[in-house]
């Protein structure tokens, strides 16, 4: 039934995740010092934060302490992740908006 039945629920979920992805990517790109490409899979954004001249781990810790936003530093995925953060958008748009607002406010203090 899952393969042959109605795919309406799947279509709605795909649309929801695309909306979340598009919002988070455009919002991150709207923060001075942050650049973010559109992810091609999963439900994570991987923004470049090199302009802040802090390690990924230091910036992730700062955002947790200063903004109350939990995310992962890019080096959790290997040495080439330095200069990046990993942000999940597997939550509702309300939480994403709130988190991005907090991130924006905290990062503005650094530039």
Residues 6+ apart with CB under 8 A from 96: 20, 23, 24, 89
Distance CA 29, CA 17 (A): 18
| pTM, full prediction | 0.91
Whether residue 1 has pLDDT greater than 80: no
Q: Between the CA of residue 108 and those of 5, 21, 35, 59, 84, what are the distances in Å? A: 49, 22, 14, 13, 17
Q: What's the length of the chain?
A: 111
Query: C-alpha distances in angstroms, 5 versus 2, 8, 9?
Result: 6, 9, 10
| CATH class (in words) of the domain with range 8-108 | alpha beta
Q: What is the pLDDT of residue 83?
A: 98
pLDDT digits (tens, 9 = 90+) for 34-55: 999 999 888 999 999 999 999 9
Residue 70 pLDDT > 70: yes
Tens-place pLDDT, residues 8-21: 988 999 999 999 99
Kindly list the domain boundaries of the chain, sorted by start residue: 8-108
Average pLDDT over residues 66-81: 96
Rounded CA-CA distance 42/45 in Å is 9
């Amino acid at each position: 039934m899952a393969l042959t039945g109605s795919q309406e629920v799947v279509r709605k979920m795909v649309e929801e995740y695309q909306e979340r992805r598009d919002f988070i990517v455009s919002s991150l790109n709207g923060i001075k010092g942050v650049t973010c490409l559109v992810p091609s899979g999963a439900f994570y954004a991987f923004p470049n934060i090199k302009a802040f001249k802090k390690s990924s781990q230091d910036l992730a810790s700062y955002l947790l302490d200063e903004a109350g936003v939990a995310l992962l530093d890019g080096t959790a995925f290997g040495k080439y992740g330095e200069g990046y953060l990993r942000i999940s958008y597997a939550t509702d748009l309300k939480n994403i908006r709130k988190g991005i607002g907090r991130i924006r406010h905290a990062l503005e203090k650094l530039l």
